Amino acid sequence: MSLNVFEYVNNLAVEIRREGDAIFCQDDPSDGRMYFVADGELAVIRNIEGEPHELNRLGAGQFFGEMAILNGSDRSATVKVVSKSAKLGFLDETVFNKIARTNPVFLYSLLKLVIQRIGNVEDEIDEAAEELANLRKS
pLDDT in tens, the chain (138 residues): 555 555 655 667 889 999 999 999 999 999 889 999 999 999 999 998 889 999 899 999 888 998 888 888 899 999 999 999 999 999 888 888 888 888 888 888 888 887 887 887 787 778 878 888 888 887
Number of domains in the chain: 1
pTM: 0.79
What CATH number should be reported for the domain holding residue 54? 2.60.120.10
With beta carbons less than 8 A apart as the criterion, state whether 5 and 12 touch. yes
Exposure string over 43-55, b if 16+ CB within 10 A, otherwise e: bbbeeeeeeeeee
Residues contacting 65, CB < 8 A, separation 6+: 23, 24, 33, 34, 35, 75, 79, 90
Q: Return the closest-CA partner of residue 79 out of 52, 61, 110.
A: 52
Strand-pair partners of 34:
91
Q: Which domain holds residue 18?
A: 5-137
Residue type, 6: F
